[in-house]
Chains A and B, each alone.
Chain A
Amino acid sequence: MSPLLEVRGIGKRFGSVVALAEVSTQVSAGTVTCVLGDNGAGKSTLIKILSGAHRHDGGEYLIDGDPVRLSSPRAALDLGIATVYQDLAMVPLMPVWRNFFLGSEPTKGRGPLRRLDVAHAKEVTRRELLDMGIRLRDPEQPVGTLSGGERQSVAIARAVHFGARVLILDEPTSALGVKQAGVVLRYIVRARQRGLGVIFITHNPHHAYPVGDRFLVLKRGRSIGEYGKADITVEELTRLMAGGAELEQLGHELAGYGDVTALDGPVKSEDEQP
């Protein structure tokens, strides 16, 4: 069986700047591929190619084994590739069920009597969210009252309902606290269990490792390794991302600062005393 989505030696340049070069990875149904890298590593360029926002100019992009060139995010969506962005497409003051179907409202009746199928919309919202593990007592609840993690999950559930087979999650945990990040990670596992392919972009190896099956590490637009879960530990992943030696040096530097601050402390408080 061919993977749902695969890139082979894919690349993108903007003028003379190489944003991404020779990157290969894939995601199959029911697996999570994590894309890790520091800021500027090329993660966003890769997502934009995958989601149809940019067109690649090197290598191959295959969906279901067929090479594609996506013209727009809409085209990607039609092939079942849905991207859930960090700044969500949600209206805080509107009820969850209205947000869930916003722009694709289910209707019944015809002509001037065409109206929202409210009962159906509420029921589907409740069911889809329940499948994601969110128990919604009242779909009339405004989205703004949900926590950040729950809002991410509603967005994920919406993408799944509207036919997504591959979910691209762009830093879904970066703006969240520890507990809420945990909520989102749980939903990523759920999505995987439901047979979706998930591409999870993050700069946090501690979020990636527990949920991922494959780990692609990017640095300055190039892949510096792709590993199966069995081939790597979370410590190695962290070292790889930060570039081992650099991290150790940073550790020594910070330890040095620690001493300086300890010396500064009493001096400052003396100044403040009248």
Chain B
Amino acid sequence: MTVGQDAGGPVPAARVRGMLARPEIGALIGALVVFVFFASLSEVFRSPAGIANWLDPASTLGIMAVAVAALMIGGEFDLSAGVMTGSTAIVTGLVATRLGWNIWLAIGVSLLFAVLVGFLNGYLVMRTGLPSFIITLGSFLMLQGLNLGVTKLLTGTVLIRGLADVPGYHSASMVFASTVSVFGGAFRVSVLWWIGLTLLAVYVLRRTSFGNWVFSVGGDVRAARNVGVPVVRTKITLFVTTAVAAWLVGTITILRLTSIQANSGIGQELIYIVAAVIGGCLLTGGYGSAAGATLGALIFGMVSQGIVYVGWDADWFKFFLGAMLLVAVLTNQFVRRYAEEAKR
């Protein structure tokens, strides 16, 4: 790993650097430790039914964490990602139940809505040069208000229900909300969506020009611009991707429940960021991994259900999550110093 000129360079350190060069290594070790820990304490945890149970929360979180991780690698945040899972479901619900449209059309309208919101987020961030943290905090609060306001206005309650009676519900439900039985465990189809999206994101980030651009706009936006990377297009695409991931989760949620609460998804945005950071993403951008974010979501799923299986008070979950986050951030900090260390 050293360069010809510095033959006397530190070799053991180089080996360590090689290992740490993979951002998801910490999350992988973490996931293994958590699995072994709960699997040894609880028989249910390691049974197919138990696995299906903890993969479920991991899947919807994982879909979001992967998109949010890509956005963070690109150097931006999206605080509206959580509320958007609610907003998109509400759009689907309202179009389907109020207008009586086929559910597939309603899902299509909701997808257009997601693309529009993602584009606006990205466009405003790029146009104003303000931190995405503030811009998307604005859109987060606006959407939160809209979700409640519009839902109450049109339904008189804070709940949209009756999706099961809408034409097309059955087929849509098959695609987004069915369960598959494997070895006696009822696995949610969302797990397949999650795995598919993770593979796609890993491929795009590591093996396409666009992926190269994502890392560069997050790592050093001026350098990226200098060598001709389409910075604005890259970042706006990432915001749109995040909104579309929220649309997928929103669609899965509303089809599962056949109803949607107006406050759905709020507060989740930080959990997505936590999963991405546990997976090795730097808060400063330019470094991270989609596979890591997925492992972060997996840890989240295992702990949230595992604590219940071993009979502990669920209150400990948040404490554990916070501790994981701190350890991850400290590790990431160390890794980045190491990677950026210049031998001047």
Contacts and interface: CB of A to CB of B under 8 A. Distances in A.
A150 interface: yes
Contacts of B2: 137
Given A93-B339, A148-B344, A180-B344, A102 B216 contact: yes
Nearest to A89: B226
B1 A138 contact: yes
B341 A88 contact: no
Contacts of A180: 344
A102 B222 CA distance: 13
B215 A94 contact: yes
A144 B3 contact: no
Contact of B229 (A85, A102, A115): A102
A177 B342 contact: no
B289 to A, nearest CB: 12
A98 interface: yes
Nearest to A137: B1
B5 A150 contact: yes
B1 A141 contact: yes
A146 B3 contact: yes
What is the interface residue range for chain A against chain B?
A: 35 or more
B283 to A, nearest CB: 13
Contacts of A141: 1, 3
What is the interface residue range for chain B against chain A?
A: 35 or more
B287 A98 contact: no
Nearest to B5: A183
B343 A147 contact: yes
A250 B136 CA distance: 58
Interface in A135-153: 135-138, 140-142, 144-148, 150
Given A115-B208, A135-B4, A137-B2, A91 B219 contact: yes
B199 to A, nearest CB: 14
Interface string B301-344: 00000000000000000000000000000000000100111111
Nearest to A150: B3
Interface in A115-159: 115-116, 118, 133-138, 140-142, 144-148, 150
Contacts of A136: 3-4
B17 A88 contact: no
A92 interface: yes
A115 B344 CA distance: 35
A114 interface: yes
Contacts of B227: 89, 102-104
Interface in B215-232: 215-216, 219-220, 222-224, 226-229
Given A103-B228, A118-B207, A90 B220 contact: yes
B215 A93 contact: yes
A105 interface: yes
A98 B205 CA distance: 12
Interface string B227-256: 111000000000000000000000000000
Interface of A is mostly: loop
Contacts of B128: none
A170 to B, nearest CB: 13
B212 interface: yes
Contact of B286 (A91, A101, A107): A91
A138 B21 CA distance: 12
A136 B2 CA distance: 7
Contacts of B213: 102-103
Interface in B17-46: 17-18, 21
B212 A98 contact: yes
Interface in A162-188: 176-177, 180, 183
A147 B220 CA distance: 18
A228 to B, nearest CB: 32
A145 B10 CA distance: 12
B340 to A, nearest CB: 4
A95 to B, nearest CB: 9
A101 B4 CA distance: 22
Contact of A134 (B4, B336, B339): B4
Contacts of A118: 207
B219 A93 contact: yes
Nearest to B223: A89
Contacts of B336: 93
Contacts of B339: 92-93, 142, 144-145
B226 to A, nearest CB: 4
11 contacts: A89-B227, A90-B220, A92-B220, A92-B340, A93-B336, A98-B212, A98-B216, A102-B229, A105-B209, A137-B1, A146-B3
4 interchain residue pairs of minimum CB distance: A135-B4, A89-B226, A91-B219, A103-B227
